[in-house]
Structure 1
């Protein structure tokens, strides 16, 4: 991996890509196991992963929880995919809305989209009353929201929070 000081761009080689792929599949791997997986020495592996972090390519490492197993303890909760159309779509209005929704802990993901709605949100709340409170807090209290369309998840068939790295030619 090379970093060009003039443009802040990072050049990735196949080892870097393999490291990123392995880490986004299982970030709990020890440095030794990661080095073995990508066929480099442990010191090389450690140095490269550190540079990937420093370059900002690895934002953070988290644990993915099992909602189905936690449901027995916490309840199932409610997942909604919400389409939002703003009344005024100026850059300033879009930034204002985006800042409001991303600050709310119930909003798990936020995307600006085109064409169609201005935003698509993935929200997770405890139940329907909690969704109503969220809708009132984020959508109806803001006069710039023209349309809200919510879809409630019945079952999650796949969840793969990964970035395509170009190593799999099926994308």
Structure 2
């Protein structure tokens, strides 16, 4: 899909506030409501808009510990990775799973839990029991300096 400057403005606006009404969005990007809605539908149908979510404040929900875990696997085979990824994705504490390169670890996983006791339960009761996991290195978040949810769009060519 070729994006023009209006499409890019729409994407920029909804990344900042996905709760905008169609009228509010149309006003912000300089369109009338009908063409704005058509463009939104086209962006959704093309897959550029993946989904809309509500971001929660994890501290206010009692989730005070964020852990970044580097995980090494014994074998680098598709079936081993598939089983690991499927199991990890089923755990509600797991916020993200990333297959990485350039490190001794194969995966970088972000986990969010209430406290160190809950992390120990997760680590010893689930993670280290997954077949193929040979190494685990945990890093604990001290302070979140910045947490951006929007993507940079300046590189997009406008038609």
TM-score norm. by structure 1 comes to: 0.82
Alignment of 1:79 onto 2:66: yes
Alignment of 1:89 onto 2:80: no
TM-score norm. by structure 2 comes to: 0.88
Alignment of 1:159 onto 2:150: no
Alignment of 1:54 onto 2:45: yes
Q: Unpaired runs of 5+ in structure 1? A: 1-9
Cα deviation 1:126-158 (Å, max 9, x = unaligned) = 111111121124321123111101111111111
Q: 1:100·1:138 contact (CA, 8 Å) conserved in 2?
A: no
Alignment of 1:141 onto 2:129: yes
Higher relative contact order (CA 8 A, sep 6+): 2
**Partner in structure 2 of residue 7 of structure 1:** none
Residue correspondences, number: 155
Q: Unpaired runs of 5+ in structure 2? A: none
Give the whole-Å Cα distance in 2 for the aligned partners of 1:119 and 1:167: 28
Q: In the TM superposition, what is the alpha-carbon distance from 1:167 to its structure 2 partner?
A: 5.0
Q: 2:66·2:140 contact (CA, 8 Å) conserved in 1?
A: yes
Q: CA RMSD in A?
A: 1.8
Q: In the TM superposition, what is the alpha-carbon distance from 1:95 to its structure 2 partner?
A: 1.8
